[in-house]
Amino acid sequence: MSTIVVFGMVFALGCVCGLRSMTAPALVCWAARVGWLNLSGSRLAFLGLLPTVVVFTLLAMGELVADKLPNIPGRNTPASLAVRFLFGGICGIALCLTAHASGIAGFLIGGIGGVAGGLAGYSVRRNLKRHFKLPDFPVALAEDVVAIACGLLIVSRF
């Protein structure tokens, strides 16, 4: 796989992290667990361990529920964007380790994807609700499906 393709997939997985900050890490953990991502011998090998998979899966499931609650802060706050940058970057490193590409570049590209996905997701969700006069819940569910499907597609290709 070419470096450009790897970095494109890293950015895309970062964008998934921007939509749902725990979905991409949970999918990376599952991918490492089932052998799609080879992290053995690296500092991220723990991502494939069963306890890590369980913790990130529970966090992702909790986020999917919490996202529908009215009192959850928006993803466009500095703290939320920082979390999306961090987890997008970690997911980027994991993909790059598997593809033998630069981990530093993976961290930066994945992190930038996390911020871009967070801001774009916020804007798209808000505009869909306004333009089509839709309630938030079905738009949020559609966003969940997009995040999970895109993330699964990306991690399954390594």
Taking the C-alpha atoms of residue 52 and residue 39, their distance in angstroms, rounded to an integer, is: 13
What is the pLDDT at residue 71?
84
Q: Note whether residue 103 is domain-resident.
A: yes
Q: Note whether residue 12 is domain-resident.
A: yes
What is the pLDDT at residue 51?
98
What is the pLDDT at residue 72?
85
**Count of the separate structural domains present in the chain:** 1
Question: Whole-model pTM?
Answer: 0.95
pLDDT in tens, 54-86: 999 999 999 999 999 888 888 899 999 999 999
Q: Note whether residue 74 is domain-resident.
A: no
Q: Which residues contact 68 (CB under 8 A, 6 or more apart)?
A: 136, 137, 140
What is the pLDDT at residue 74?
85
pLDDT beneath 70: ranges in the chain: none
Residue 107 lies in domain: 3-63+93-155
Taking the C-alpha atoms of residue 138 and residue 84, their distance in angstroms, rounded to an integer, is: 23
Q: Note whether residue 48 is domain-resident.
A: yes
Taking the C-alpha atoms of residue 82 and residue 103, their distance in angstroms, rounded to an integer, is: 19
What is the pLDDT at residue 73?
84
Q: Note whether residue 81 is domain-resident.
A: no
Taking the C-alpha atoms of residue 12 and residue 23, their distance in angstroms, rounded to an integer, is: 13
What is the pLDDT at residue 35?
96
